[in-house]
A and B are shown apart, each in its own frame.
Chain A
Amino acid sequence: MMNRRSFLAAAGSGFAASLVPSAADAFERADAIFATAYRDEDGGYGIATLTDAGRLIDRYQLPERGHDIFWHASGEMLVAFARRPGTFAAVIDVKRRKKPLIIQAAEGRHFYGHGCFDPAGKLLYATENDFENARGVIGIYDVTNAFRRIGEFDTGGIGPHDMVPFPDGYHALIANGGIETHPDYPRAKLNISTMRPNLTIIDLRDGRIVALNQLAPEMHKLSIRHLAMQADGTGWFACQNQGDIVMPQPLAGKISPDGEIKLMETAMSTWASLRGYIGAIACTKDGSRIAVTSPRAAVALEIDPRHGRVLKTHHLEDVCGVIARDNQITLSSGTGFFAGKRHQISFDNHITRLGI
């Protein structure tokens, strides 16, 4: 995995040189580099890079609100996806040698805000909505040809949100949230009564759906939205309850590499404390610690999934971003906290780590 030193080697000393002295110093001292979308105090949007100690390294403007962000394997560029139902993705040169490249969503498609690169860094995949046909697709973009869209795969469901690659790099886990939306009615949910989310495993080489799994029918209003991946290929998923949250339901679970789903076992009061909503999920490499955030409950939980025991509870207003590094959990919030440090910007829902 790329760390700060290998990033420096890849991106070149020009990156540090491009920073203001205080940021260059923060960068030099960091053990890990993160990126996240933000809104600034003037209502503008952008991407921020920060250290594991919560120190701001740099900021890049975006035309509209971003959602998830991905580092290219070279460490030289970041891709930020617009928040659903967004129609752009921005490719940012972290050394600012080039102007940001804006990828417009294809006709009849919009982005859902998540995606990933292939292991060689030659292709970019994005979760998208074929909204006229209420069909989820993975848009495929050629990194080597100015991110030209060269095709798409069916995701096997409606409303794909997060996608994460398996460790082999050739398969991806897709969270089809199940909720139909259309730009004619922005952010209106058109099929709550009949929604049926699922998790699919897709072979990214040919688009073949290797596995498709659903939760029990009585749990059909649990929209599966966010994902995390262990080193051994065990995936973790997190849900948002679109039904009556007075009756709590399990909101997270795992999926084995061969597609078997198991809900996380923990006390119902733990699920209730999340107010039916997980905004992001992270897991340590070995899966011994799962972290989930609920901005609606202003709480983040670190859970040992083997026993369902809550190891740590963080109370933080508008907390959502979460990422795991070794056994460390880093959180961010809409109130400006990142790794415990307060900034004058609102951090968006997700954090990505350089090299992940």
Chain B
Amino acid sequence: MRKFVLGLGASVLLATNAFASEWTIPDAVDATITDAIIPMLIEYEGATEDAVNIIAPLCEAPSEENLAAARASFKNAAKAWGAAEFIRIGPLSAENRLERTLYWPDRKGRGLRQVQAAIATEQEEVTTSESVGGQSVAVQGFLALDFILFGTDSDALATGSPHRCSYALAVTQNLNSIANELLADWTAGDGIASLWRNPSADNPLFRDDTEQLRTLVKLIGDGAEVVLVQRLDPFLNTDPVNHKRALYWRSGATIAALQGNVAGLQRISDAARLPDLIREDRRRIVQGIDFELLQAARVLDGLDRPVEEIAVDEEALGRARYVRIAVNSVFNLAGTQVPAAFGLTAGFSTLDGD
């Protein structure tokens, strides 16, 4: 059984569940927003607020304990961002929020050099949230904070390094400010959530439930691609494995961020209940996404070590490569097979245009 969808004269056959009383595309979109996206943004905003509240005392009273707490708060915030970073439609793509939050990949360390220069010359512009938010995107997000809290000479934060600590606090406040903007936009009555929930002919993003569903599946596929080509491949594809090409290698938060990534994709997938949307004979293909994400999450749970150690441990590297296989499967499923199973077309040009 198939559901016939009409929109602006276009007709698309979607292989969705035949029983309208059951799970529908609008249900899936609403649940994704309500049960995954907004909670993840709330958690991310909370993690950045915690970091602000933990780093501020470090600046006032430098100590080993306060530095350790600040570093732990970074890891928590990076993990929470890992879950939320795939929500790239709408507010995150506006005002450079994505790049301001995480400037990555940082090819040739161009961003890092700006951060090092800001510290070395004690730039005044990076010491308040407002002023750092107006600087280059490379000096105001997680990549900067990774170096400030864990890079060369960062141990001086425990004994007093006023400029560096002010910079850390300013970056954390800036991250929190951006997190609040994201949350405000996603919870606004007339914002992106409303557009996604209410397709119509004059909606600038969603004409019909086909476009609603396409965006939902694309969210997972694009997220898996980011994990694959920007996070795992850059260091796993080097021979010998070069841990310095991994995101957050200094702070040892590489795996925590990956855990966040996979957890975020799981959360979206769980909320959307994609297998319940599709007709039964195609359900197994869609269920593959949950299966592969679960495998990736389980392996990552046992791998929470600095990537520097993983790079020289064949057994750990094998696990990391297994995670890559699982994420690659999610990418292939959500990028090609699942859209095709839903009748969204394989997206030869649509999902991977040029």
- The chain A residues found within 8 Å of chain B, CB to CB, are 39, 67, 83-84, 113, 182, 184-188, 190, 192-194, 225, 240, 243-248, 269, 272, 275, 277, 279, 295-298, 313, 315, 317-320, 333-335, 346-349
Q: Could you tell me if A182 and B354 are in contact, using CB atoms closer than 8 angstroms?
A: no
Partner of A243, one of B93, B205, B207: B93
Q: Could you tell me if A190 and B354 are in contact, using CB atoms closer than 8 angstroms?
A: no
Cα separation A235 to B281 with both chains bound (whole Å): 50
CB-defined A-B contacts under 8 Å, sample of 7: A190-B107, A192-B98, A243-B94, A297-B207, A298-B10, A320-B349, A348-B348
Q: Could you tell me if A318 and B348 are in contact, using CB atoms closer than 8 angstroms?
A: yes
A350 to chain B, nearest CB (A): 9
Partner of A315, one of B10, B93, B107: B10
Contacts of A349 on B, CB cut-off 8 Å?
349, 353-354
Q: Which residue of A lies closest to B95 (CB)?
A: A244
Q: Which residue of A lies closest to B98 (CB)?
A: A192
B204 at the binding interface (Cβ < 8 Å): yes
B235 to chain A, nearest CB (A): 11
B347 at the binding interface (Cβ < 8 Å): yes
Q: Which residue of B lies closest to A334 (CB)?
A: B348
Helix, strand, loop or mixed for chain A's interface?
loop
B345 at the binding interface (Cβ < 8 Å): yes
Q: With A188-B229, A318-B345 as given contacts, are A246 and B354 in contact (CB-CB < 8 Å)?
A: no
Q: Could you tell me if B205 and A275 are in contact, using CB atoms closer than 8 angstroms?
A: yes
Q: With A67-B354, A190-B105 as given contacts, are A318 and B93 in contact (CB-CB < 8 Å)?
A: no
Contacts of B10 on A, CB cut-off 8 Å?
298, 315
Q: Could you tell me if A187 and B229 are in contact, using CB atoms closer than 8 angstroms?
A: yes
Cα separation A188 to B234 with both chains bound (whole Å): 12
Cα separation A193 to B99 with both chains bound (whole Å): 7
A220 to chain B, nearest CB (A): 11
Q: Could you tell me if B90 and A246 are in contact, using CB atoms closer than 8 angstroms?
A: yes
B1 at the binding interface (Cβ < 8 Å): no
Partner of A272, one of B12, B204, B229, B349: B204
Q: Could you tell me if B349 and A245 are in contact, using CB atoms closer than 8 angstroms?
A: no
Partner of A317, one of B12, B98, B192, B229: B12
Q: Could you tell me if A84 and B354 are in contact, using CB atoms closer than 8 angstroms?
A: yes
Cα separation A12 to B217 with both chains bound (whole Å): 50
Partner of A185, one of B91, B98, B204, B230: B230
Contacts of A279 on B, CB cut-off 8 Å?
349, 353-354
Q: Could you tell me if B345 and A246 are in contact, using CB atoms closer than 8 angstroms?
A: no
B239 at the binding interface (Cβ < 8 Å): no
Q: Which residue of B lies closest to A277 (CB)?
A: B353
Cα separation A128 to B202 with both chains bound (whole Å): 39
Contacts of A245 on B, CB cut-off 8 Å?
93, 204-205
B119 at the binding interface (Cβ < 8 Å): no
Partner of A193, one of B137, B192, B230, B346: B137
Q: With A193-B99, A243-B93, A246-B192 as given contacts, are A298 and B350 in contact (CB-CB < 8 Å)?
A: yes
B94 to chain A, nearest CB (A): 4
Interface members, chain B 91-108 (any A CB < 8 Å): 91, 93-96, 98-100, 105, 107
Q: With A113-B354, A246-B195 as given contacts, are A318 and B107 in contact (CB-CB < 8 Å)?
A: no
Cα separation A277 to B218 with both chains bound (whole Å): 16
Q: Could you tell me if B107 and A192 are in contact, using CB atoms closer than 8 angstroms?
A: no
B338 to chain A, nearest CB (A): 16
Interface centre among A245, A298, A320 (most CB of B within 10 A): A298
B8 at the binding interface (Cβ < 8 Å): yes
Contacts of B345 on A, CB cut-off 8 Å?
317-318, 334-335
Q: Which residue of A lies closest to B344 (CB)?
A: A317
Partner of B204, one of A243, A248, A319, A333: A248
B302 at the binding interface (Cβ < 8 Å): no
B240 at the binding interface (Cβ < 8 Å): no
5 tightest Cβ-Cβ pairs between the two chains A and B? A334-B348, A244-B94, A295-B349, A315-B10, A320-B349
Cα separation A244 to B207 with both chains bound (whole Å): 17
Cα separation A85 to B221 with both chains bound (whole Å): 20
Q: Could you tell me if B96 and A244 are in contact, using CB atoms closer than 8 angstroms?
A: no
Cα separation A113 to B350 with both chains bound (whole Å): 18
Cα separation A269 to B202 with both chains bound (whole Å): 7
Contacts of A244 on B, CB cut-off 8 Å?
90-91, 93-95
Contacts of B207 on A, CB cut-off 8 Å?
297
Cα separation A225 to B353 with both chains bound (whole Å): 11
